[in-house]
Amino acid sequence: MFYAAYIHADPDGSASGSFPDVPGCYFAGDTLEEAAQDAKSALEAHFEFLADDGKAIPESTGLTNKAMSADPEFNENYQGGAWIFVEVDVTKFMGRSERINVTLPHLLINRIDTFVSQNPAYASRSNFLAKAALKALSETK
């Protein structure tokens, strides 16, 4: 899942940023590049803390982030920086995995397996199915 982050340079050359969809999650670095690299680890650490605390992982408003255009208060406070997008696999923060029995047509399974083997973004068939389910569920809102 992609999360939009706002990043800006400070007068001393360092940089920092935040995620409008994830209140309380901030990142920083000595340079813009270091701050951008820290964004993913900050988001994953924040999600791990939320999961350990039994709290829900915030949903992303996605690549068309509402805060980027529709939230005047957010945009008023964040001028002169840039938006970046950080991809995080949120399935690892959703609790322990459970084995289930799923029945799918043989040719569909073959297509899924071929796709997974050619796309390193998916660790396994199960990971692909979990991400596909999350995507479908997020589109129904």
pTM of the model: 0.70
5 in Cβ contact with 21 (< 8 Å): no
> Which helix (H) or strand (E) covers residue 94, if one does?
none
Host domain of residue 111: 98-141
| 6 and 61 together in one domain | yes
| 83 and 105 together in one domain | no
How much is the average pLDDT of 3-32?
Answer: 91
pLDDT, residue 109, reads 95
| 1 and 39 together in one domain | yes
Task: Give the pLDDT confidence of 130-140 residue by residue, as tens digits.
Answer: 989 988 887 77
Torsion of CA 112, 117, 119, 121, to 10 degrees: 90
Query: How many Cβ atoms are within 10 Å of 60's Cβ, its own excluded?
Result: 21
pLDDT, residue 76, reads 57
Residue with tokens 């690892």: 92
Distance of alpha carbon 88 from alpha carbon 137, whole angstroms: 17
Task: Give the pLDDT confidence of 89-130 residue by residue, as tens digits.
Answer: 888 888 888 889 999 999 999 999 999 999 988 889 999 999
Helical H segments across 13-90, by residue range:
32-52, 72-77
| 91 and 30 together in one domain | yes
